[in-house]
């Protein structure tokens, strides 16, 4: 075991809550804290977030930057600013989880170029956003490429959060050294009932949701419950659909119960480098209906823990058939077993190996 004199610093996007950009480094840090001293550094850390991190014995370095936006737009604003940062600590392994820091690091954890996400998401957005992005896209893409190439030069290793994510960087000629999937707390996300009600389909309503498909599924008389706090992104024609119940932001325990009782979870996404929704659902014993592409195609096992479709029309057809016919017995058990591959204790071992190699190599 290494001495606590060895520090591991996680650089993150602005931290407004315990979710979003904090989830992967936080879960990894909890598993590694017995071996290393942990530092969290961010451009902005909410008071409640800082208190939780400090309660685990983590050091919090808050740069106290002021931002005009919030939520996902806050991350976009921070990305535009492209902050330079130097962490003044000896005996410290620096892991950059952020899309905002252009800094030297031992490891950059690549979670997908921002403009690649925008390219996929824009077709579902309002006309104002579409027009604005079309007019500025060339500028943003050039800037994005320069940024991630700069990160590659300043990072000893680049680790992607999925094979699909790695392919996006490699399309730009950026070498990715390894893939390590994001971790999940499978002690928190687990089935809460042995007799699921199965009287609804669960989905996430956010900026990555394919709302046009969600509308078609609801119009086929499938009862849908949708969670998420991204109400501004939800089109009016979907909000007015009587077969969709919008729950808004839910607590972690409420979310676990929702997953556990759903007939299946619908992941109708526009862009998903990894995708926590399918893994969380499987951890709660509920299979996932999604596309055979991007991150979810690496976590869901077709026919065993869910179903893959090739296009939107097939997604609507399969969603309707499953609602009428139900799911196969044994799938819920398969789901839980599959999700355990992403458990934080398992994923942390991969990080421990990387950090140990860096520590030994630096001696």
| Tally of domains within the chain | 2
Distances (CA, A) of 269 to 41, 142, 155, 210: 31, 25, 31, 5
Query: H/E/C letters for each residue in 262-307?
Result: CCCEEECECCCCCCHHHHHHHHCCCCEEEECCCCHHHHCCECCCEE
Residue 172 lies in a domain: yes
- At 227, phi and psi to the nearest 5? -115, 160
Residues of the chain by 3-state class (helix, strand, coil), percent to 5? 45, 20, 35
Q: Are residues 40 and 168 in the same domain?
A: yes
Tell me whether residue 191 is in a domain.
Answer: no
The edge-to-edge listing of strands for the beta sheet with 265-267 is: 244-248, 224-227, 201-204, 265-267, 288-291, 306-309
Q: What is the CA radius of gyration of the chain?
A: 21
The pLDDT, as a whole number, for residue 247 is 94
Question: Does residue 2 lie in a domain region?
Answer: no
Q: Which residue has the tokens 């983590």?
A: 58
CATH of the domain at 111: 3.40.50.2000
Assigned domain for 194 exists? no
Measured in whole angstroms, the distance separating CA 74 from the mean position of its chain's CA atoms is 16
Q: Taking a C-beta distance cutoff of 8 angstroms, is the pair 184, 279 a contact?
A: yes
Residue 174 CB neighbour total at 10 angstroms: 19
Same domain for 149 and 100, yes or no, is: yes
Nearest-angstrom CA–CA distance, 296 and 292: 7
Q: What is the pLDDT of residue 218?
A: 97
Q: Which helix (H) or strand (E) holds 108?
A: strand 105-110
Note the pLDDT of residue 89. Answer: 63
The pLDDT of residue 77 is 74
- pTM listed for this prediction: 0.93
> Could you give phi then psi for residue 234, rounded to 5 degrees?
-85, 120
- On whether both 246 and 328 belong to a single domain, the answer is yes
Binned average pLDDT, 10 residues per bin, the chain of 363 residues: 73 86 93 94 91 96 80 72 70 92 93 94 86 93 95 96 98 97 98 97 94 96 92 82 95 97 98 97 98 98 98 98 94 98 98 91 59
Spatial contact of 286 and 264, defined as CB atoms under 8 Å apart: yes
Which pLDDT score is estimated for 1?
47
């Amino acid at each position: 075991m290494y001495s606590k004199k060895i520090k591991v610093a996680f650089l993150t996007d602005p931290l407004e809550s315990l979710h979003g950009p904090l989830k992967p480094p936080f879960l990894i840090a909890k598993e590694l804290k017995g071996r290393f001293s942990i530092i969290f550094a961010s451009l902005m850390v909410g008071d409640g977030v800082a208190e939780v991190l400090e309660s685990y014995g983590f050091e919090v370095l808050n740069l106290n930057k002021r931002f005009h936006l919030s939520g996902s737009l806050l991350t976009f604003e921070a990305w535009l600013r492209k902050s330079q940062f130097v962490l003044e600590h000896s005996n410290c392994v620096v892991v950059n989880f952020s899309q905002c820091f252009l800094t030297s690091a031992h490891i950059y954890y690549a979670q997908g170029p921002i403009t690649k996400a925008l390219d996929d998401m824009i077709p579902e957005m309002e006309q104002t956003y579409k027009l604005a992005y079309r007019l500025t896209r060339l500028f943003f893409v050039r800037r994005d490429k320069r940024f991630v190439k700069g990160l590659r030069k300043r990072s000893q290793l680049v680790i992607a959060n999925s094979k699909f994510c790695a392919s996006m960087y490699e399309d730009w000629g950026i070498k990715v050294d390894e893939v390590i999937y994001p971790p999940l707390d499978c002690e928190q996300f687990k089935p809460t009932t042995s007799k699921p009600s199965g009287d609804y389909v669960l989905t996430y309503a956010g900026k990555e949701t394919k709302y046009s498909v969600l509308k078609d599924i609801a119009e086929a008389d499938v009862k849908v419950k949708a969670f998420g706090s991204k109400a501004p992104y939800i089109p009016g024609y979907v909000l007015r659909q009587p077969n969709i119940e919008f729950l808004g932001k839910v607590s972690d325990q409420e979310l676990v119960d929702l997953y556990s009782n759903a007939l299946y979870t619908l992941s109708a996404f526009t862009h998903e480098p990894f995708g926590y929704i399918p893994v969380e659902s499987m951890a709660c014993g509920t299979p996932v209906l999604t596309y055979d592409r991007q991150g979810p195609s690496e976590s869901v096992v077709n026919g065993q823990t869910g179903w893959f479709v090739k296009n939107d029309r097939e997604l609507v057809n399969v969603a309707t058939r499953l609602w009428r016919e139900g799911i196969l017995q044994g799938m819920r058990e398969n789901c839980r077993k599959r999700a355990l591959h992403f458990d934080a204790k398992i994923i942390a071992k991969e990080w421990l190996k990387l950090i140990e190699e860096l520590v030994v190599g630096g001696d």
